[in-house]
Structure 1
Amino acid sequence: MGLFGTFTYSDGAWTTPDARREPYLVVDVHDSDIATIDYRPTGDAGGRCYLGFQPRVYFEDPTASAPVDNDAEAHGLAHWALLATGREVDPQDVAALLAPDDEDDEPEDLFVEETVRRLLELTGVPVPEELAEEALTGEE
């Protein structure tokens, strides 16, 4: 059984969804295969993208999720990182982590939690304890 969990980052810390303030990032992990990334910088801009698999690809159902413009989302997440953490991030580095919209492309990481960790480290967000490698492997 894979990991299921929702994690909300706001004001420099992991918090509860009802306590979030802009800019925020929400990571929703579904069975270690899909991570939905919702983010909102200050203002009207915000976005949604996926790590691992896009639901429309994973479930072989085009209605399972809206199409994603990975290039636009990579730029949006890079901008979010600058606002939320002060870290400048190359959008191409973000794009390399995003789930493709092609059923023939497999994710680089076996478990999406690994990709989530890489995205968080790239953007300057601390990895929550529940997603730390030690917590997932049982090692200390």
Structure 2
Amino acid sequence: MKNTLISSVIFFSLLASVLFFNNKLINVCDKVNDYSNKIESSLSKEDWKESYKESLKLSNLLEENYVSLSLYINHEQLDNLSKEILSLTQYIKAEDVSNSLSSVHIIKSYTKHIKDIQKVNIGNILNSNLKNIFYCGIYNDFSL
């Protein structure tokens, strides 16, 4: 009885932490998209001061949540997003419209990708399991 209780507590605490981090990740991605939309609209007006201010807010948002999110998802995805945000701030500082807009779209694409791979659906589950089978060395003759 004691083992069942301990196992249940561990299972439900794990489930609660996964749900918490998943919701936090989705909220951060939504905020990143909101900031990106604000930056994009201010760039179209060529309001460089407002764009730079919003890009710094975007950078701070990711810095504040980096550690907790990297516990839940692969840090390489966050690194790519962080690098692109830093590039965006420099493009805005240099008042480069085309690179700034392309950087905003890359940021939006990264956040969409991060949200898509965190959704619980059969495709993500099967894809994850197939990668684990092939990368763990069970089938070394094949590559993905």
TM-score (norm 2): 0.37
- Higher strand residue share: 1
Structure possessing the higher radius of gyration over alpha carbons: 2
TM-score (norm 1): 0.37
Which structure has the higher relative contact order (CA within 8 Å, separation 6+)?
Answer: 2
- Higher helix residue share: 2
